[in-house]
Amino acid sequence: MPHSHDASDLIDDALEANAEGVRAVKISMIVLLVTTALQGLIVAFSGSVALLADTIHNFSDAFTAVPLWIAFALSRRAATRRYTYGYNRAEDLAGLFIVVMIALSAVLAAWQAIERIIHPQPIAYVGWVIGAGVVGFLGNEAVAIYRIRIGQRIGSAALVADGIHARTDGFTSLAVVLGGLGVLLGFPLADPIVGLLISAMIIVLLVGTVRSVGRRLMDGIEPELLDRVEHALAHVPQVLGVERVRLRWIGHRIHGEASIRIHEVPLSEANRIATAAEESVKAHLRNVDEMTIQTFVR
């Protein structure tokens, strides 16, 4: 990736990241809505509770695109005197909404499965149910690959979490296929049992998503990013050592500060070194919006 120290380039990077996020959300939402519509049609005439659970989950996954879309749109707005860091935190709030939607889909899917176990009903068109499960897997996997790739590129934990959510949905769709095969083999309870298993898989997903989103809300940062900042500061010849580095994610952008040791020099030279250090960090981490550098005399 080419390095640039031009402030306008850094602003363009931020706007481009927001635009990529919005585009990823739009495309993935359309794919999931088409997948959900096809599955819902088959649910209507088959009565498969496993496919119903998968359809509910896929719909919730598509619906989570709405708060992400709003969050990326808000991120384009300039900072104000009330929101001095801008609106990038809206992305983290969208991550919380995704967690709630995952939890609700798990509860609804489990309730439907338990109801069908208590009051068994035959399912029809098992072959179509199996086909719908395959369609669900392919649609979710395509969305997962796209969301995760874009999320990692722009540094969006919420978008990556939503991509992992979609990938897990794909495997729950394969569980629908297993349920359909069980029915074909003469075990009708396989369908609601698979519905319960899907609910359990959603809960497992929920734990990982809560951890990822919660880490961002608690200002957690990946240790390798600290290593990259320390490496960038060490590249500045006048820097004798790095005392402290602190970073935080605000949406998919990074704000941070660092303390560096330098020789005793005139104030103007110290300011020049601090500026060079800041530029070095921004050149190595393109997600950095602000980096405050403090200098200490050795």
| Number of structural domains the chain divides into | 2
CB of 277 closer than 8 Å to CB of 239: yes
Same domain? For 195 and 100 the reply is: yes
Among 187, 217, 247, the domain boundary falls at: 217
Higher pLDDT among residues 148 and 63, named by residue: 148
Among 167, 202, 217, the domain boundary falls at: 217
Task: Please report whether residue 265 resides in a domain.
Answer: yes
Same domain? For 66 and 129 the reply is: yes
Task: Please report whether residue 1 resides in a domain.
Answer: no
Among 164, 189, 217, the domain boundary falls at: 217
Same domain? For 213 and 254 the reply is: no
Same domain? For 143 and 124 the reply is: yes
Both tokens assigned to 19: 């635009």
Same domain? For 108 and 235 the reply is: no
CATH number of the domain residue 279 falls in: 3.30.70.1350
Same domain? For 208 and 68 the reply is: yes
Classified as helix, coil or strand, 292 is strand
CATH number of the domain residue 178 falls in: 1.20.1510.10
Least confident segment among 29-33, 85-89, 172-176, 182-186: 172-176
Same domain? For 31 and 86 the reply is: yes
CA distance 90 to 216: 12
Same domain? For 167 and 290 the reply is: no
Taking each helix axis as running N to C, give the angle between helix 90-118 and helix 65-75, from 0 to 180 degrees, rounded to the nearest 10. 180
Higher pLDDT among residues 66 and 10, named by residue: 66
Same domain? For 192 and 228 the reply is: no
Among 58-67, 182-191, 228-237, the range of highest mean pLDDT: 228-237
Task: Please report whether residue 2 resides in a domain.
Answer: no
Residue 259 clears pLDDT 50, i.e. is over it? yes
- The whole-number pLDDT of residue 4 equals 33
- The whole-number pLDDT of residue 99 equals 80
Same domain? For 205 and 227 the reply is: no
Same domain? For 114 and 179 the reply is: yes
Q: What does 41-93 look like in DSSP terms, one character per residue?
A: HHHHHH--HHHHHHHHHHHHHHHTHHHHHHHHHHHTSPP-SSSTT-STTHHHH
**pLDDT band at residue 6 using 50, 70 and 90 as cut-offs:** very low
Taking each helix axis as running N to C, give the angle between helix 223-234 and helix 267-284, from 0 to 180 degrees, rounded to the nearest 10. 130
Domain range for 271: 223-297
Task: Please report whether residue 79 resides in a domain.
Answer: yes
Tens digits of residue pLDDT in 23-48: 777 887 888 888 888 888 888 877 77
Same domain? For 131 and 188 the reply is: yes
Which of 147, 180, 164, 11 is closest to 79 using CA atoms? 11
CB of 150 closer than 8 Å to CB of 26: no
- The whole-number pLDDT of residue 257 equals 92
